[in-house]
């Protein structure tokens, strides 16, 4: 397990071989958040309707992708905040394996 200390506690990262964190990638593609969600095939399996609405309202999306032990399969979670993304990543990664 990897931790990074912050002023308001430690951020806990899932066990990983490689970890990728993205924030607001839609802005780099000159896309609005709704188009980004739709064109990146982020589905109901990845995101609840409530979480999707929260992301759209905040115009903010965090994406965490990690390869746990091999570079051939990975886990992926998205949320409107990094904290929520990491909570999802550390909760039950079997729900997000790709």
Selected residue with higher pLDDT from 12 and 27: 27
Q: What is the mean pLDDT of residues 56-74?
A: 87
Selected residue with higher pLDDT from 44 and 95: 44
What's the pLDDT score for residue 8?
61
Task: Report how far apart the first and last C-alpha atoms of the chain are (Å, whole number).
Answer: 21
Q: What is the mean pLDDT of residues 85-98?
A: 68
What's the burial of 44, exposed, middle or buried (CB within 10 Å: 0-12/13-18/19+)?
exposed
What's the pLDDT score for residue 7?
58
The tens digit of pLDDT for each residue in 17-60 reads 888 899 999 999 899 999 999 888 777 677 888 999 999 999 99
- Count CA atoms within 13 Å of residue 98 on its CB side: 14
């Amino acid at each position: 397990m990897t931790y990074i200390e912050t002023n308001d506690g430690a951020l806990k990262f899932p066990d990983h071989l490689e970890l990728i964190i993205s924030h607001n990638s839609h802005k780099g593609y000159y896309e609005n958040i709704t188009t980004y969600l739709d064109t990146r095939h982020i589905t109901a399996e990845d995101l609840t309707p409530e979480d999707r609405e929260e992301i759209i309202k905040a115009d903010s999306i965090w994406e965490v992708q990690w390869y746990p032990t091999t570079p051939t399969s990975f886990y992926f979670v998205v949320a409107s905040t990094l904290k929520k993304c990491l909570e999802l990543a550390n909760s039950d990664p079997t729900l997000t394996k790709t």
